[in-house]
């Protein structure tokens, strides 16, 4: 008996992993709540058809501005104690924290599972026989009738506890990663079969959310039982690796560790509001390394069929509220010209009829908005690769900047950037038709960019000109696009 108890002490690596996990799971949940607030609805259908959500945390529809309802009108503002960083449309910051935490949480998770198997500690979590099932039912009845199992049953774990931990470690956590990846436009474009493993991208997103809810319930019950079943003794186990009795030192260190987690959350929240650019710069390298850069090499190979086209396609961004643009609409874009200039041998200026005369390309693809909604549509236009062959970029050219007619209330232009490599992909096109009709005004008339492995914010609508540059640092605010400059979105935009 004595020997068995000794072998139950938690090793140091396990206690450290437990703490790191606690810290980043909380950051993941809080930043996740921020992300979902930007489109607080979940669907089973990939089109996000209007009013087809199975749950909504949004407000009711209000009067549309300029006669157009956009996905931004549905965004809600969560409180800062709940979401990281809280407030209206802080999606860019929320995503920085989410993917920064993904890096640490996933890395710790791998090391933890590896060590579980190397050291044999996995026996703690994986039941040795099917008897765990009736055992777990018994424990459940004990709890459900407001009793606690006798203390002996916690060593190592009671059957219900063991099953629950095994579920969280071996089922819930991997599914969080797998469904997280299924929401990446680059992954879905390169491997269209992958989101189908879950049904579709919106089902994956719903599962990601439901599992978060289950995780929250788990954490609440877990913490409650730690307190109820002998707080001091449990802290001794998890903080000092002690095997019997309580420990004031352990309680003190444990409470200090919890205070540290709270402090990190308060600081992260405060810094995101006060110094967002600094937060983006500090967290950015981890995100580049783990999430964005590997996904950036994935290119679109998707092609959907006509009957998969979405009945309704959400709109993000209203038509430019300027006289110049209204004039263009009023004259049916007769005077519109697309200028292609910058580091090119042969600058060109093309009218709409001239664009139409160039070889056309049609594609049916899935759009992923960074807010969370998706939709399938057919886009027709001129491959950018052909336009590049016409204008002939110089050898030092590396990026292509897409300028639009849209100016915000501060006069800042909506623009975006792609690498020359992405621009030469066959599905990168200047689209002038959507679902077989001339591109409607809300969707970017007379022409817009499509690059199918990226998030929607990259696909500039209401195009004015295309500029080929060596480095985008000298354009606009310097971060590669309007959203990158002002909303701290990541430039690579692959997830
Ligand atoms: C304990 C771990 C995690 C928790 C609790 C969590 C929670 C959440 C929540 C609540 C959301 C908002 C739901 C939504 O609007 O879609 C979200 C979004 C997201 N999460 Fe996680 N997450 C976790 C791990 C991960 C991992 C490992 C990845 C891997 C890449 C990931 C990728 C994403 C992505 C891409 C989104 C945005 C989806 C969208 O476009 O709407 N998450 N997460
Ligand atoms: N000029 C301009 N282009 C834009 C936007 C915008 O606000 N202004 N929004 C972007 C975002 S975030 C998305 S998701 C897509 C939405 O395209 P849609 O309105 O055709 O659905 O356009 C992108 N291009
Ligand atoms: Mo978007």
Residue 389 to residue 396: CA distance in whole angstroms? 16
The pLDDT score that the predictor gives to residue 346 is 98
The count of other CB atoms within 10 Å of the CB of residue 191 is 17
Q: What is the mean pLDDT of residues 67-94?
A: 94
Q: What is the pLDDT of residues 37-47, one digit of tens each?
A: 999 999 999 99
The pLDDT score that the predictor gives to residue 19 is 97
**With 80 as the cut, is the pLDDT of residue 65 above it?**
no
Task: Output the average pLDDT for the chain.
Answer: 94
Query: Ligand 2, residues 47, 315, 317: which to mutate, most atoms within 8 A of Cβ?
Result: 317
Residue 79 to residue 61: CA distance in whole angstroms? 21
- Which residues, in sequence order, are bridge partners of residue 379? 363, 434
Give the ligand whose atoms come closest to the C-alpha of residue 481: 2
| CB of 414 closer than 6 angstroms to any ligand 2 atom | yes
The pLDDT score that the predictor gives to residue 421 is 95
Alpha carbon of 308 to those of 46, 184, 258, 363: distances in Å? 10, 20, 49, 12
The pLDDT score that the predictor gives to residue 147 is 87
The pLDDT score that the predictor gives to residue 152 is 63
| Per-position b or e across 268-284, b if 16+ CB within 10 A of its CB | bbeebeeebeebbeebb
| CB of 209 closer than 6 angstroms to any ligand 1 atom | yes
The pLDDT score that the predictor gives to residue 1 is 32
Length reported for the chain: 495
Q: How far is the CA of 459 from the centre of ligand 2 (A)?
A: 6
The pLDDT score that the predictor gives to residue 381 is 98
Query: Ligand 1, residues 28, 295, 316: which to mutate, most atoms within 8 A of Cβ?
Result: 28
Alpha carbon of 30 to those of 53, 175, 288, 362, 382: distances in Å? 22, 18, 21, 41, 42
**Which of the four pLDDT bands, split at 50, 70 and 90, describes residue 5?**
very low
Q: What is the mean pLDDT of residues 116-134?
A: 91
Q: Rg (Cα) of the chain, in Å, rounded?
A: 26
| CB of 406 closer than 6 angstroms to any ligand 2 atom | yes
**With 80 as the cut, is the pLDDT of residue 489 above it?**
yes
Q: How far is the CA of 402 from the centre of ligand 2 (A)?
A: 13
Q: Do β-strands 337-342 and 463-469 pair in parallel, antiparallel, or remain unpaired?
A: parallel
Closest CA to 493 of 95, 225, 200: 95
Residue 54 to residue 210: CA distance in whole angstroms? 12
Q: How far is the CA of 260 from the centre of ligand 2 (A)?
A: 40
| CB of 404 closer than 6 angstroms to any ligand 2 atom | yes
The pLDDT score that the predictor gives to residue 146 is 86
The pLDDT score that the predictor gives to residue 28 is 98
| CB of 205 closer than 6 angstroms to any ligand 1 atom | yes
The pLDDT score that the predictor gives to residue 2 is 37
Tokens of 442: 């809300």
**With 80 as the cut, is the pLDDT of residue 290 above it?**
no
Q: How far is the CA of 167 from the centre of ligand 2 (A)?
A: 40
The pLDDT score that the predictor gives to residue 64 is 67
Q: Could you give the percent of the chain with pLDDT greater than 70?
A: 96
**Which of the four pLDDT bands, split at 50, 70 and 90, describes residue 428?**
very high
Q: Could you give the percent of the chain with pLDDT greater than 90?
A: 85
pTM of the model: 0.95
Q: What is the mean pLDDT of residues 48-55?
A: 94
The count of other CB atoms within 10 Å of the CB of residue 494 is 23
Q: What is the pLDDT of residues 240-251, one digit of tens each?
A: 998 888 899 999
| CB of 317 closer than 6 angstroms to any ligand 2 atom | yes
| CB of 211 closer than 6 angstroms to any ligand 2 atom | no
Q: What is the mean pLDDT of residues 135-158?
A: 81
Q: How far is the CA of 212 from the centre of ligand 3 (A)?
A: 23
The pLDDT score that the predictor gives to residue 470 is 98
Q: What is the mean pLDDT of residues 438-449?
A: 98
**With 90 as the cut, is the pLDDT of residue 59 above it?**
no
| CB of 169 closer than 6 angstroms to any ligand 1 atom | no
Which protein residue's CA is at the shortest distance from atom 2 of ligand 2? 461
| CB of 272 closer than 6 angstroms to any ligand 1 atom | no
Q: What is the mean pLDDT of residues 93-103?
A: 97
Q: How far is the CA of 332 from the centre of ligand 2 (A)?
A: 21
Atom of ligand 2 nearest to the CA of 373: 14
Q: What is the mean pLDDT of residues 156-181?
A: 94
Q: How far is the CA of 291 from the centre of ligand 3 (A)?
A: 19
| CB of 429 closer than 6 angstroms to any ligand 1 atom | no
């Amino acid at each position: 008996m004595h020997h068995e108890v000794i072998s139950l002490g938690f090793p140091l690596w396990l206690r450290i992993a437990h703490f790191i996990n606690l810290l980043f799971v909380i950051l993941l949940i809080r930043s996740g709540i921020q992300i979902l607030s930007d489109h607080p609805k979940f669907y089973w259908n990939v089109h996000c058809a209007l009013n087809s959500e199975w749950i909504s945390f949004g407000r009711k529809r209000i009067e549309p501005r300029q006669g157009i309802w956009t996905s931004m009108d549905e965004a809600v503002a969560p409180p800062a104690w709940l979401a990281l960083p809280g407030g209206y449309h802080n999606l860019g910051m929320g995503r920085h924290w989410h993917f920064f935490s993904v890096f640490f949480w996933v890395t710790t998770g791998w090391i933890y599972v590896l060590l579980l198997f190397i050291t044999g500690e996995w026996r703690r979590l994986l039941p040795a026989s099917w008897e765990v099932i009736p055992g777990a039912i018994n424990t459940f009845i004990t709890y459900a009738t407001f009793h606690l199992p006798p203390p002996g049953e916690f060593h190592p774990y009671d059957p219900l506890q063991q099953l629950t931990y095994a579920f969280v470690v071996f089922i819930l956590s991997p599914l969080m990663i797998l469904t997280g990846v299924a929401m990446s436009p680059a992954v879905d474009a390169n491997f269209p079969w992958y989101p189908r493993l879950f049904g579709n991208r919106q089902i994956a997103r719903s599962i990601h959310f439901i599992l978060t809810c289950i995780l929250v319930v788990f954490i609440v019950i877990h913490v409650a039982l730690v307190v109820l079943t002998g707080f001091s003794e449990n802290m001794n186990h998890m903080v000092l690796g002690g095997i019997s009795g309580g420990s004031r030192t352990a309680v003190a260190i444990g409470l200090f560790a919890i205070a540290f987690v709270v402090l990190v959350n308060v600081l992260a929240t405060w810094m995101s509001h006060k110094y967002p650019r600094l937060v983006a710069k500090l967290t950015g390298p981890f995100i580049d390394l783990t999430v964005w850069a590997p996904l950036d090499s994935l290119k679109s190979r998707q092609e959907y069929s006509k009957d998969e086209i979405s009945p309704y396609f959400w709109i993000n961004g209203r038509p430019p509220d300027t006289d110049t643009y209204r004039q263009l609409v009023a004259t049916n874009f007769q005077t519109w010209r697309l200028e292609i200039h910058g580091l090119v041998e042969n600058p060109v200026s093309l009218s709409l009829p001239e664009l139409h005369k160039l070889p056309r390309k049609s594609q049916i693809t899935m759009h992923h908005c960074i807010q969370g909604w998706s939709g399938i549509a057919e886009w027709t236009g001129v491959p950018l690769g052909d336009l590049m062959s016409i204008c002939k970029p110089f050898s030092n050219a590396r990026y292509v900047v897409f300028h639009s007619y849209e100016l915000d209330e501060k006069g800042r232009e909506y623009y975006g950037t792609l690498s020359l490599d992405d621009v030469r992909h066959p599905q990168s096109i200047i689209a002038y038709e959507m679902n077989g009709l001339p591109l409607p005004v809300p969707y970017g008339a007379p022409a817009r960019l499509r690059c199918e492995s990226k998030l929607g914010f990259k696909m500039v609508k209401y195009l004015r000109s295309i500029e080929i540059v060596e480095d985008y640092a000298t354009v606009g605010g310097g971060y590669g696009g309007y959203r990158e400059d002002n909303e701290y979105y990541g430039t690579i935009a692959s997830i």
